[in-house]
Amino acid sequence: MTFETVFLDRDGVINAKAAEGDYVKSWDEFRLLPGAAAALGLLTAAGRRVIVVTNQRGIARGRLDPARLAEIHERMGHELACYGGRLAAIYHCPHDRGQCACRKPASGMLEQARREHPGLDFSRSVLVGDSLSDLQCGAAAGCAVILIGSGRRAIETASAARQQGISLLAVCDSLLHAVAAHVLGSPAQAAA
């Protein structure tokens, strides 16, 4: 399967998550995860459309200013460009739970992307995320899904997804591993 569009969650996939209950509120708090920029460079070089879909509940809670989020995303785009990465779009949900149809696990951000990017086909797309809500969102839209994580949390998330009938393409420890082994290549090619 060749994936034409790659949807990426942000926190926990591209950058390090803030502590539980906190948010990345400024560029000074933003830390790219190892290999994430290289993974974006590989996707761009391979001609894939890369779209970030991120819940940003900190806005609804008054902990993150929308202008500050825009600055973080602009600087993230410049940083990724240094590695050859290009984002086709970034969509964010500023709402709290239960207030909208865009907050993952709902697929509103993916639907918006499909409206704004003609030819976007969910059956030829993959969503890479680090949480059950990411996987639920991708699966509900008909995308393949990849879980990023390791250890007990990844095992529990993968198990919960499977119990809900979500078929995981893979569980990987990093975005770079997911891209090299499952998005651009195949597990057999990666092992060779």
pLDDT digits (tens, 9 = 90+) for 99-147: 999 999 999 999 999 999 999 999 999 999 999 999 999 999 999 999 9
Catalytically annotated residues: 9, 11
- One-letter amino acid of 113: A
Alpha carbon of 110 to those of 14, 88, 138: distances in Å?
A: 18, 13, 8
- CATH assignment at residue 46: 3.40.50.1000
In the prediction, which pLDDT does 188 show? 38
In the prediction, which pLDDT does 21 show? 87
In the prediction, which pLDDT does 185 show? 75
Which residues in the chain come in under a pLDDT of 50? Answer: 187-192
Q: What's the CA gap between 155 and 157, in Å, rounded?
A: 6
- One-letter amino acid of 111: E
Residue 190 burial (CB count, 10 A): 12
Give me the number of domains the chain comprises: 1
In the prediction, which pLDDT does 190 show? 36
Phi, psi dihedral angles at 172 (to 5 degrees): -125, 155
In the prediction, which pLDDT does 187 show? 45
Range of the domain at 129: 5-191
**pTM for the predicted model, two decimal places:** 0.94
In the prediction, which pLDDT does 186 show? 52
